[in-house]
Amino acid sequence: MPVGIGAGGVVGFALETVAGTYVAPAKYVPVNSESLHWTQDTTWRRPIRGFAGVVGAVAGRGHVEGDIQMEALEDVVPYFLDCARVNLVKTGTTNLTYTATPTAAAVPAKTMSITIVRNNVVFGYVGCIVPTFTLTTDNDALMFNVSVLGTNETTQSTPTPTWPTTVPFGHGQYSIQVPTATQVFDCDGFEFTVDDNGEVQYRLKNIPGSQFSTFGERSVTLSTERDFFDRTEYDAFKALTAQSITIVATKGANNSIQIDIPAAVKDTYEIGLSGQGDLIRASMSWQGVTDVTGKDYTVTVKTQESFTP
């Protein structure tokens, strides 16, 4: 199933039916910024032969890497989750639910082709995975930032994009529950990050690019800033008390993105010295740990977008 993206022009993406084989974009999304590029470790030859300069160059190991920053649209996020270290399950018919639960798989199950048109020049990247993604707020708008690793780059024809009309999540559409089922109203924003420590794998072969990418150990973190009322939460931080946390961004019953951390333990709890009569604010971060079912987080997306994970 194809997918797409555009910066300075067009960004499109597509899920690959064969890993590392380019698929033309079928889904397009506006992005705030992107930095995808081909990187190559060139060996500069300087053998001892009576010359001071470089004799020549040998092409070294190369791969695709970079970041994409975009609005968190419910009809786009599931495609990228499908190329992360998750098991993505689709339920429903017209109103669909995509539930992403983490796995321990070392090798990704799905890869993606990403097409970017920069000033009428087309770049195609294949074998792309999402080893790190972040859901965060920026002036109350929900943002989705992904770090991408890919195996190779191709040259493709210019696509004709069809832009989505989905409205982003914004102010008045959030429920932050600490612990789950206890809604709080004192958070300025949040940043939820899943880092699966992706690593490019090289093998000796007769075509350029990396062979594939793998995942490593996972870290799940959530940070926010809250009002400080008393020492109860501070003492829980010192006691390493775990609590469940749920964050929901919703535009209705069938259009939402929900983050669940079943067992979150406070990693840091910083309280600054305020001025006289000022509020006392606490900067806090949590680490997600696995619960009895082996999950350290889930992301659930409700949308009318249909594709086969």
41-50 per-position pLDDT tens digit: 888 988 888 8
pLDDT, mean of residues 112-136: 95
pLDDT, mean of residues 263-285: 85
pLDDT, mean of residues 33-58: 89
Question: What's the pLDDT score for residue 6?
Answer: 42
Q: Do residues 46 and 20 touch, judged by C-beta distance below 8 A? A: no
Q: What is the pLDDT of residues 220-272, one digit of tens each?
A: 999 999 988 788 888 888 899 899 999 999 999 999 999 999 999 999 999 87
| 3-state secondary structure string across the chain | CCEEEECCEEEEEEECCCCCCCCCCCEECEEEEECCEEEECCEEECCCCCCCCCCEEECCCEEEEEEEEEECCCCCHHHHHCCCCEEEEEEECCCEEEEEEECCCCCCCCCEEEEEEECCEEEEEEEEEEEEEEEEEECCEEEEEEEEEECEEECCCCCCCCCCCCCCCCCCCEEEECCCCCEECCEEEEEEEEECCCEEECCCCCCCCCCEEECCCCEEEEEEEEECCCCHHHHHHHCCCEEEEEEEEEEECCEEEEEEEEEEEEEEEEECCCCCCCCCEEEEEEEECCCCCCCCCEEEEEECCCCCC
Question: What's the pLDDT score for residue 2?
Answer: 46
d(CA 211, CA 203): 6
Strand partners, 167: none
Position 187 pLDDT exceeds 50: yes
Residue of 37 and 272 predicted with greater confidence: 37
d(CA 103, CA 31): 28
Position 216 pLDDT exceeds 60: yes
Question: What's the pLDDT score for residue 277?
Answer: 61
Of the candidates 250, 252, 261, 245, the one whose C-alpha atom is nearest the C-alpha of residue 298 is 261
Q: What is the pTM of this model?
A: 0.92
Strand partners, 63: 39
Tokens 């081909």 correspond to what residue? Answer: 38
d(CA 38, CA 152): 8
Average of per-residue pLDDT values in the chain? 92
Q: What is the pLDDT of residues 57-101, one digit of tens each?
A: 988 889 999 999 999 999 999 999 999 999 999 999 999 999 999
pLDDT, mean of residues 176-183: 96
Q: Do residues 196 and 218 touch, judged by C-beta distance below 8 A? A: yes
Position 28 pLDDT exceeds 60: yes
Amino acid at 295: K
Instruction: Name the burial class of residue 139, with classes exposed (0-12), middle (13-18) and buried (19+) by CB atoms within 10 angstroms of its CB.
Output: exposed
Of the candidates 63, 202, 73, the one whose C-alpha atom is nearest the C-alpha of residue 125 is 63
Question: What's the pLDDT score for residue 7?
Answer: 41
- pLDDT cut 70: percent of the chain above it: 96
Could you tell me the residue ranges of all domains in the chain?
3-39+61-155+167-303
